[in-house]
């Protein structure tokens, strides 16, 4: 029998604040009522602030981030279009597979799992594409499998430097609302996230930011689509409605989640994630272990993938944490299975929760056969957290 709290330290779905859970506990309501837009129009407006766009449009699609990926592709590209993508983790790999299944001509750049999107190689290929065969560039801003963040602004500079008109797609599923993302400033045309990460909700919403350029392109795109037709969404969304049945309870939760983000301040949310991630990374170093990220400059502030020592199976670490300590760590995916475990540190999170993750990871590592000194990682993280957090990071009492 399990007692106490289940400690959830996977990189998504993330912890749901109690006030958000309570906000979703509402009766069903009429999605065609004349006042339904009182709930939804504000969501669209505040999501634009989270995406940092004034000229783009944000869509709420029942589904997941993967559904929003598909909507982004099918609304803006044509069968046979060439797209440029990097494969450097599980989620960038899955995006490549989707693009291929949907009939795109995918030009793939393979780099090590632990590296970032190869900006210089993308720049070289874009400069060489003098006839404009490449119609879109795909960037995974935060590769959740490896704990690596790529430089979206640098990819935009590469596009501009080559005077290239390709659309810029960004997977921001584990970055948007947690680490810095600037849709307008970086010239992002399609940006994808999901409700279950930094927005602190259950899975169930794919959220898609679309630039004015991409909306214009969507009017002539010939790829087949029906449920994810953005023209239908836009027509109904203009007055706060949806072409199909929307998940109303999730909208109530999203309203409360956005209120929390706005109360803390988006820049303060980014600062908090940086601080908490720094403590976890300090703990990893104190254990004598290394992250999957090849360099500290690309280490993610939302998830850390930790390489286990030779002779230790990361799957044992995860199983022991779950069975003995009621704690969930993220598993290693693809070629990293058994080689890494992941600590997710995003969303509704504070120092005490990170210290719990570190302490339980120490116990689990030790039981799996790793030579770690009890308290070493905890002490290293404490040294980071001993410095007071900026006052603005503290939410007022609920």
- The reported pTM is 0.95
So what's the architecture of 18-262 in CATH?
Answer: 3-Layer(aba) Sandwich (3.40)
The reported pLDDT for the residue numbered 398 is: 42
pLDDT (average), residues 204-221: 98
Q: Is the pLDDT of residue 143 over 50?
A: yes
The reported pLDDT for the residue numbered 125 is: 98
The reported pLDDT for the residue numbered 389 is: 83
The reported pLDDT for the residue numbered 397 is: 37
* % of residues, the chain, pLDDT over 90: 96
The reported pLDDT for the residue numbered 142 is: 98
Give Cβ neighbours of residue 340 (< 8 Å, ≥ 6 apart). Answer: 292, 305, 306, 307, 308, 314, 332
- Give the pLDDT band of residue 2 (cuts 50, 70, 90): confident
Q: Is the pLDDT of residue 258 over 70?
A: yes
Alpha-carbon gap, residue 346 to 85, rounded angstroms: 26
Tell me which CATH code domain 7-13+265-393 carries: 3.90.1150.10
Q: Is the pLDDT of residue 248 over 80?
A: yes
pLDDT tens digits, 60-84: 999 999 999 999 999 999 999 999 9
pLDDT tens digits, 84-95: 999 999 999 999
The reported pLDDT for the residue numbered 166 is: 98
Q: Where are the beta strands (DSSP E) in 50-144?
A: 57-62, 82-87, 105-110, 134-140, 142-143
Q: How many CB atoms lie within 10 A of CB 95?
A: 25
- Contact yes or no for 346/11 (Cβ under 8 A): yes
pLDDT tens digits, 342-357: 999 999 999 999 999 9
Alpha-carbon gap, residue 233 to 230, rounded angstroms: 5
- Give the pLDDT band of residue 390 (cuts 50, 70, 90): confident
The reported pLDDT for the residue numbered 3 is: 87
pLDDT (average), residues 209-213: 98
Q: Is the pLDDT of residue 391 over 80?
A: no
* % of residues, the chain, pLDDT over 70: 98
Domain boundaries, the chain: 7-13+265-393, 18-262
For 99, the token pair is: 């693009």
Q: Is the pLDDT of residue 333 over 80?
A: yes
Alpha-carbon gap, residue 162 to 230, rounded angstroms: 30
pLDDT tens digits, 371-383: 999 999 999 999 9
Alpha-carbon gap, residue 375 to 362, rounded angstroms: 8
């Amino acid at each position: 029998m399990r007692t106490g709290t289940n400690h959830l330290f996977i990189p998504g779905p993330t912890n749901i604040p109690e006030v958000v859970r309570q906000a979703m506990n509402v009766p069903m309501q009429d999605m065609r009522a004349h006042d339904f837009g009182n709930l939804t129009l504000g969501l669209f407006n505040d999501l634009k602030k989270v995406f940092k766009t004034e000229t783009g449009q944000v869509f709420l699609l029942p589904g997941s981030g993967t559904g929003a990926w598909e909507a982004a592709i099918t609304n803006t590209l044509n069968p046979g279009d060439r797209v440029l993508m990097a494969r450097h983790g599980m989620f960038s790999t899955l995006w490549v597979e989707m693009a291929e299944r949907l009939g795109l001509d995918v030009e793939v750049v393979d780099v090590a799992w632990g590296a970032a999107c190869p900006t210089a190689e993308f720049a070289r290929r874009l400069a060489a594409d003098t006839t404009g065969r490449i119609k879109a560039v795909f960037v995974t801003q935060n590769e959740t499998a490896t704990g690596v963040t790529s430089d979206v602004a640098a990819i935009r500079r590469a596009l501009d430097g080559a005077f290239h008109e390709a659309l810029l797609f960004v997977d921001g599923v584990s970055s948007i609302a947690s680490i810095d993302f600037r849709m307008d400033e970086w010239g992002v045309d399609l940006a994808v996230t999901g409700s279950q990460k930094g927005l602190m909700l259950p899975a169930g919403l794919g959220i898609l930011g679309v630039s004015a350029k991409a909306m214009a392109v969507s009017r002539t795109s010939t790829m087949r689509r029906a449920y994810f037709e953005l023209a239908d969404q836009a027509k109904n969304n203009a007055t706060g409605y949806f072409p199909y049945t929307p998940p109303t309870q999730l909208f109530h939760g999203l309203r409360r989640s956005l209120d929390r983000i706005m109360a803390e301040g988006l820049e303060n949310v980014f600062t908090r994630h940086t601080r908490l991630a720094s403590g976890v990374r300090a703990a990893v170093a104190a254990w004598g272990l290394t992250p999957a990220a090849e360099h500290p400059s690309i280490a993610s502030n939302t998830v850390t993938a930790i390489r286990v020592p030779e002779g230790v199976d990361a799957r044992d670490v995860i199983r022991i944490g779950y069975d003995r300590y009621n704690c969930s760590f993220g598993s290693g995916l693809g070629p990293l299975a058994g080689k890494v475990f992941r600590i997710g540190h995003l969303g509704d999170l504070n120092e005490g929760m990170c210290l719990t993750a570190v302490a339980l990871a120490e116990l689990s590592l030790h039981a799996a056969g790793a030579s770690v000194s009890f308290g070493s990682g905890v002490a290293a993280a404490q040294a980071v957290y001993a410095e007071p957090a900026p006052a603005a990071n503290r939410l007022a009492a609920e």
